[in-house]
Amino acid sequence: MKKIIAGTSSPMLSKSLMEITGIPIADVSIKKFPDGECYVRINEEIEHAIIIENTYPDEKIIELFLLQDAARRMAGKIDVVIPYYGYGRQDKIFEGGEAISAEKMAKLIEQDAERIVLVNPHKKHISRFFSIPVDIIDATPILAEYFKGKVDIVISPDAGAEHMAKKAAEIMGCEYDYLEKTRISGNEVIMKPKRMELNGRNVLIIDDIISTGGTMREAIKQIKAQGANKIHVACIHGLFIGNADEKILQAGADEIVTTDTIESAYSKVSIAPLIAPLI
């Protein structure tokens, strides 16, 4: 029988998937040994396992590998749904001597899987690191649906997310624009000043990831300085490292919205309806 195996990164999403698809969640024990090592046991027979687990933070990666191994010992088919593909940002060699983390992760995961589902991986070419079939889901349209009627213009904080702003604006029937960001370090970004017609307008800033919140903070500063009215902030994957959410709210955001690829208080839009047809 087909069953969902809910990784500890995604309990709410797994429940939503069960409710939509009728595929039951398997009885699985996931514990920690006193030394911190992970233990998993699938407590029932499964023929087709659908594992839902992020590859972030690191401990979820080990949990995923163990769940895959346990499933492999009983199930004929394993689908792995990775709502947030951690390690996806190191998708090429930026400086000699580096590892390509996104590729290494793919090689390890595909050892015990027949199929992979990814949600907005940082770059689409990540799917080519797998030698098994990969479905890519784009959650931009459901984020856009959430903001329909609330926003006059969509802005991406960098050129890399311009395609998201464009797609969201098409769905909402409004304008879009993008800012130009330069990353100085993991924690620091600068944004090139850009004149936009924002006076009194309601703005949505959209990106794929919020990590430290530095990118959003700089974007908000610039947008606020140009007289914007309400500033909504949205992303697919809300990592919220440190006090990223406070940083964003203090900079002047009226609302933060993310999907449930990483579950938090800001996960106001579920990707379950997008994953359901694929499982």
Binding site for ligand R5P (CB under 6 A): 158, 160-161, 189, 207-215
Closest among 18, 42, 44, 47 to 30, alpha carbons compared = 42
3-state secondary structure (DSSP) of residue 162: helix
Residue closer to ligand R5P, measured from CB, 158 or 263: 158
Backbone angles phi, psi at 199, to 5 degrees: -55, 120
Query: 169, 175 in Cβ contact below 8 A?
Result: yes
Identify the bridge partners of residue 255 per DSSP, sorted by sequence position: 232
Closest contact distance (angstroms) between CB of 122 and ligand R5P is 7
Which ranges of the chain does DSSP label H, i.e. alpha helix? 11-21, 58-72, 101-109, 140-147, 162-172, 214-225, 244-251, 272-275
Choose, from 3, 167, 181, 247, the residue flagged as catalytic: 181
Residue closer to ligand R5P, measured from CB, 71 or 105: 105
Closest contact distance (angstroms) between CB of 262 and ligand R5P is 13
Residue closer to ligand R5P, measured from CB, 83 or 214: 214
List of residues 6+ apart from 121 with CB closer than 8 A: 85, 88, 102, 127, 136
Residue closer to ligand R5P, measured from CB, 86 or 213: 213
List of residues 6+ apart from 151 with CB closer than 8 A: 172, 174, 202, 203, 204, 232
Closest contact distance (angstroms) between CB of 55 and ligand R5P is 16
Residue closer to ligand R5P, measured from CB, 150 or 183: 183
Closest contact distance (angstroms) between CB of 57 and ligand R5P is 15
Closest contact distance (angstroms) between CB of 157 and ligand R5P is 6
Query: 261, 234 in Cβ contact below 8 A?
Result: no
Amino acid at residue number 197: E
Residue closer to ligand R5P, measured from CB, 65 or 178: 178
- What DSSP string runs through 48-116? EEEEE--S-SHHHHHHHHHHHHHHHTT-SEEEEEESS-TTTT--S-SSTT---HHHHHHHHHGGG-SEE
Question: Is 181 among the catalytic positions?
Answer: yes
Closest contact distance (angstroms) between CB of 125 and ligand R5P is 14
Give catalytic residue positions: 181
